[in-house]
Amino acid sequence: MNAASLSVNLEQIAAGAVEQARAAGATGAECTITQGDEFSVSVRMREIESLKEAGSRAAGIRVLVGQRTGSSYTSDLSPDGIAKMVHAAMDLAKVTTEDPHAGLPEPERLGKLAQDLQLFDENVEKLEAAKRIAMAEEAERAALDFDPRISNSEGAGFSSYSGRRVFANSLGFVGGYRLSSCGLSVSPVAKEGDSMERDYWYSAARAFAKLDSPETVGRKAAERALRRLNPRKPFTQKAPVIFEPRTAQALLGDLFDAVNGSAIYKHASFLTGKLGEKIAADCITIVDDATIPGLFGSTPFDDEGVVSQRTVVVENGVLKNYLLNSYTARKLGMKSTGNASRGITGNAGVGPGNFFLEAGSKSAADILKSIPNGLYVTELIGGGGDTVTGDFSSGAAGLWIENGELAYPVSEITIAGNLKQMLMEIEEVGSDLEFRTSIAAPTLLIREMTISGQ
């Protein structure tokens, strides 16, 4: 079956499942179907370690019977499998409670972006296995050959996915889109005396041509592992902290959780009730935008069929909008921002489009120069921010800053603060914003955090 007719076929199955649910007494229904092929290869110490290749499909349905909901899913897309799934969801709807806010999106909000979002690249699918293996081999080789202290490796991997996602609901919405992604990663181990450190670097993209070269990924991974060798444990102190983009991304992830409509209506976020208030430094503008072509967080419509959009969440430090699906919007008396997200079944949650902190004008190097004594965080491990209270505490590793320069590596430390205060104390935002995942941030400088060491 060719690609176009497969899409049509899956859309027909989804619409058929919705129709069956209606026939069985559902007042509303929504069905999601995914189908995809995955490939991954790992190479370690210049030899292939594993090869994996497979395809799978899954369907999920959510039914409304009045104000009650039930959900089910199956990996069996045969007529019998779909019928059983619909039947199971109808049964489950009997045990739930009437929820006055349960429902489908308002019909006028349903729709699809017309533009080509460049979510699918046929070159990902067409790439020969030998080339995929070679990419991983070259990336690891670039790391191993970079420095004699790179003496071991956790391996390098190339992975790819191509598939489609289809959605139909009982308001007449039927839509689908194809997706592809590919990624290249390397995890070298650096060794010197008794010190052994590992780091990693990766590149990921929807289109094969957007992937960084194996050479670039391998060298960067090696540099990162090498600069961690022979770490010290600094004294416990309060000091400025610079988050590089990879760790700033984690902070932004905590902020996403705090503007998620589910946490807001439950009063489970430190940002509940703060719309229109100043919650961050003037230099902070945060946007969620699912309409940018080629990025991981872009989609023509969200997971309940609402057309994707751009939402300004924080503007010059002022909280402008929460991120909502149709349920949380009804709970809060607001409008959905097109952020419905779910696997294939169940009530939709809230997920990011491309959720990012807008770049500033200073380079990371210039920001570094301004710090006489502080921490440059390259890795966060465990812990993180508490959405309810804003308390933040995490393990960390990085480099100590002395007189505006990276002086020596540090590890076995924690950094702590409160997100409410940390947001207000962001003093600099770097110009180095890069979209590597659906949540992205540039280099950030926070005036002061507690660093626990010895």
Partner 1 sequence: MSFQDSFFAERFGITEHDLESYLSEALSAGGDYADLYFEYLATNSIGIDEGIVKSATGGVTLGVGVRVLAGERTGYAYSDDLSSDKIRKAARTAACIARGPATIVKTGFEVARQHDLYPMLQTPNEVDLAERVELIKRADRAARAYDSRIFQVQASYADNVRHVMVATSEGRLSFDRQPMARLNVVAFAREGDGSPQHGHAGGGGRVTLDFFINEKTPEHFAKEAARQAIVQLSAKDAPSGEMTVVLGPGWPGILLHEAVGHGLEADFNRKGTSAFSGRIGQQVASPLCTVIDDGTIGSRRGSLNVDDEGMPTQKNVLIENGVLRGYLQDKLSSKLMRAASTGSGRRESYQHIPMPRMTNTYMLAGDADPEEIIRSVPKGLYCATFAGGQVDITSGNFVFSATESYLIEGGRITAPVRGASLVGNGPEALKHVSMVGHDLKLDEGIGTCGKEGQSVPVGVGIPTVKIDRMTVGGTAA
Range 379-438, binding partner 1 (CB under 8 A): 379, 381-383, 386, 388-389, 391, 393-395, 397, 411-418
Q: Considering Cα of 247, then 249, then 253, then 255, what sign does the dihedral take?
A: positive
Q: Which of 13, 124, 144, 189 binds partner 1 (CB under 8 A)?
A: 189
Q: How far is CA 407 from CA 227, 241, 375, 442, in A?
A: 10, 14, 10, 22
Q: Which of 6, 8, 24, 58 binds partner 1 (CB under 8 A)?
A: 58
By beta-carbon proximity to partner 1, the closer residue of 373 and 452 is 452
CB 362 within 8 Å of CB 242: no
- 177, β-bridge pairs: 165
**Sole window of 18-26, 166-174, 261-269, 361-369 interacting with partner 1 (rule: CB under 8 A):** 261-269
Does position 161 interact with partner 1 (CB under 8 A)? The reply is no
Percent helix, strand, coil in the chain, to 5, is 25, 40, 35
Our CA angle for 428, 432, 437, nearest 5°, is 115
By beta-carbon proximity to partner 1, the closer residue of 356 and 376 is 376
Does position 88 interact with partner 1 (CB under 8 A)? The reply is yes
**Sole window of 7-15, 209-217, 225-233, 275-283 interacting with partner 1 (rule: CB under 8 A):** 225-233
CB of 55 to partner 1, least distance (A): 8
Long-range contacts of residues 322-325, Cβ cutoff 8 Å, at least 24 apart: 322/259, 322/260, 322/261, 322/264, 322/271, 322/275, 323/256, 323/259, 323/260, 323/261, 323/288, 323/350, 323/352, 323/355, 324/261, 324/350, 325/261, 325/349, 325/350
By beta-carbon proximity to partner 1, the closer residue of 120 and 270 is 270
Contact partners, residue 131, CB within 8 Å, separation at least 6: none
Based on DSSP, count helices (H) and strands (E) in the chain, helices before strands. Answer: 10, 20
**Sole window of 176-184, 228-236, 252-260, 294-302 interacting with partner 1 (rule: CB under 8 A):** 228-236
CB of 391 to partner 1, least distance (A): 5
Q: How far apart are CA 69 and CA 91, in angstroms?
A: 10
CB 71 within 8 Å of CB 348: no
By beta-carbon proximity to partner 1, the closer residue of 213 and 450 is 450
CB of 227 to partner 1, least distance (A): 13
Q: Which of 20, 74, 247, 260 binds partner 1 (CB under 8 A)?
A: 74
DSSP secondary-structure letter at 209? G
By beta-carbon proximity to partner 1, the closer residue of 67 and 431 is 67
Site residues for partner 1, 275-334, by CB under 8 A, read: none
Closest CA to 387 of 264, 286, 244, 245: 264
By beta-carbon proximity to partner 1, the closer residue of 111 and 183 is 183
Does position 230 interact with partner 1 (CB under 8 A)? The reply is no
Q: Which of 177, 202, 270, 296 binds partner 1 (CB under 8 A)?
A: 270
Does position 250 interact with partner 1 (CB under 8 A)? The reply is no
Q: Which of 1, 2, 23, 97 binds partner 1 (CB under 8 A)?
A: 97
Hey, is 220 helix, strand or coil?
Answer: helix
By beta-carbon proximity to partner 1, the closer residue of 75 and 316 is 75
What is 245-293 written as a DSSP string?
A: HHHHHHHHHHHHHHHBHHHHHTT-STTTT-TTSB-S-TT--EEEETTST
Does position 452 interact with partner 1 (CB under 8 A)? The reply is yes
By beta-carbon proximity to partner 1, the closer residue of 226 and 364 is 226
Q: How far is CA 255 from CA 35, 43, 287, 296, 298, in A?
A: 32, 36, 12, 19, 19
CB of 99 to partner 1, least distance (A): 5
**Sole window of 174-182, 209-217, 247-255, 374-382 interacting with partner 1 (rule: CB under 8 A):** 374-382
Number of residues that bind partner 1 (CB under 8 A): 77
Q: Which of 92, 204, 292, 406 binds partner 1 (CB under 8 A)?
A: 92
Torsion angle of the four alpha carbons 396, 399, 405, 408, in this order, in degrees rounded to the nearest 10: 150
Torsion angle of the four alpha carbons 284, 450, 438, 267, in this order, in degrees rounded to the nearest 10: -80
By beta-carbon proximity to partner 1, the closer residue of 12 and 389 is 389
Does position 3 interact with partner 1 (CB under 8 A)? The reply is no
**Sole window of 49-57, 212-220, 289-297, 306-314 interacting with partner 1 (rule: CB under 8 A):** 49-57
Q: Which of 4, 23, 47, 276 binds partner 1 (CB under 8 A)?
A: 47
By beta-carbon proximity to partner 1, the closer residue of 96 and 373 is 96
